[in-house]
Amino acid sequence: MKRREFLATAALGTVGLKTGGLGLDGLSLAGPEGGLRLQNRNRKILIAGGGFGTTFIKYMAELTGKERPRLCYLPTASADRESGQIRWYQNCATLNVEPHVQTSFIASYRMEQSGEEALLSMDGIVVSGGNTLNQQAIWRAQGIDEVLHEAWDQGIVLGGSSAGSLCWFEEGTTDSRPKELTKIECLGFLKGSHSPHYDGEEQRRPTYQALIKSGEMKPGYACDNDAGIYFVDNEVERVVHTREDAKVYYVSIVGDEVVERELPAEMIE
């Protein structure tokens, strides 16, 4: 898989003028204060703090706009663990989707197409949980990071939970190193930081808040297990959950204190 250079203008794709308007199809030109801000409305990411099961997969399928979307599971972070692949097919079994798996631990002669060809033929890509540090290293070595950027630009819906949610942000907290949670830098498609498993692991909340308070980490989004966010480009389009008490927060500094602002979530089924 060859690595590519992406021009900034390529992210805009092919656009046409809106009839009678000054904007561009699929683009938002006005920033929050009325300034110029280009936004590609086709770039979609659906994350969850943990628990990207059948309900989240169903919602991703709906976001593709396809009657029977092709959805691919990318289990790099779990070292292509077979049990995760089996669970993926089980989670998809009741849905009107065409499930696929793209492994990273491969041998050339067993592959009928390149990873790039496989991933860019999909309507949605779900990234597994696991070791985010190893995931990022393997993606960079194989050029998967750049293929995922191209997929994002093309409107293929991306998503996942745990390592599969953290990977899309600039940075966040990971348990990929020995002994304790640490900061990791990731793909940077989504701006700011992220903490998955916010209610599911004892050290997630205090570590995330401490890193933000110290200035070591940018403000960002914390998701409980079973709660998540649908982003269009870098804007929060919808906050969702599959469990009533699962929450999503925007965590930042106000004055000298860390503040959690809960983002109201809608139930998906």
What does the domain layout of the chain look like in residue ranges?
8-267
Q: Is 153 helix (H, G, I), strand (E, B) or coil?
A: helix
This prediction has a pTM of 0.84
Residues 6+ apart with CB under 8 A from 267: 240, 241, 242, 244
CB count in 10 Å sphere of residue 193: 27
- For the stretch 228-257, pLDDT in tens is 999 999 999 999 999 999 999 999 999 999
Instruction: Give the pLDDT confidence score for residue 38 in this predicted structure.
Output: 60
Give the integer Cα–Cα distance in Å for 165 and 39: 21
Residues 6+ apart with CB under 8 A from 127: 74, 76, 77, 135, 158, 159, 160, 163, 164, 167
φ, ψ dihedrals at 83, nearest 5°: -60, -35
* Spans of the chain below 50 pLDDT: 1-37
Query: How is residue 18 annotated by DSSP?
Result: P
Enter the tokens of residue 228. Answer: 């998540």
Enter the tokens of residue 42. Answer: 């086709």
**CATH code at 8-267:** 3.40.50.880
Angle separating helix axes 132-142 and 144-154, nearest 10 degrees: 90
Q: Which amino acid is at 3?
A: R
CA-closest candidate to residue 59, choices 157, 184, 189, 143: 157
Long-range contacts, 234-239 (Cβ 8 Å, 24+): 234/39, 234/190, 234/191, 235/39, 236/263, 238/266, 239/263, 239/264, 239/265, 239/266
Find tokens 């065409």 and name the residue: 98
Give the integer Cα–Cα distance in Å for 176 and 199: 18
- Give catalytic residues, as residue numbers: 162, 197
Rounded to whole angstroms, the maximal C-alpha distance in the chain is 59
Instruction: Give the pLDDT confidence score for residue 176 in this predicted structure.
Output: 79
